Amino acid sequence: MWRQVECFPEQRSFSRTNGKASLLIFINKQSDANTVKWRGTKKNWRLKKSLPQDVEFSLVMDQSRLIQKATSSVSQSGLIGAFLAIAVLYIFLRSVGSTIAIAVAILFR
């Protein structure tokens, strides 16, 4: 009267890496963690150590690179802005001493 039937859930997504079927795992950081600092420790995964040697790990997406580029861009823009502000001060004041005094005062404000 009863029969056993093996059922598998419907496949909703499929992951391939380098042309082979793969398992995609997302690792999210805690809100108080630093993404850029985490980048240096990602090779110390406990999961990798607990699986057989023939299991291959490859990094597919790394947001720390994007964050480093963005912070570098902000730093560069800040330096360019500071240089332009000092240049405009010098053009209006026409005095090196006054320009330096005001620039230092702005920096340490």
Q: Outline where the chain has alpha helix (H).
A: 35-39, 46-50, 63-93, 96-107
Question: What's the pTM value of the predicted model, to 2 decimals?
Answer: 0.50
Q: Which two tokens stand for residue 66?
A: 């994007």
1-46 pLDDT, tens digit per residue, is: 566 667 777 778 888 888 888 877 776 777 777 776 766 565 556 6
Residue 21's SS3 state is: strand
Q: Which two tokens stand for residue 70?
A: 């963005």
Return the DSSP state at 31. Answer: T
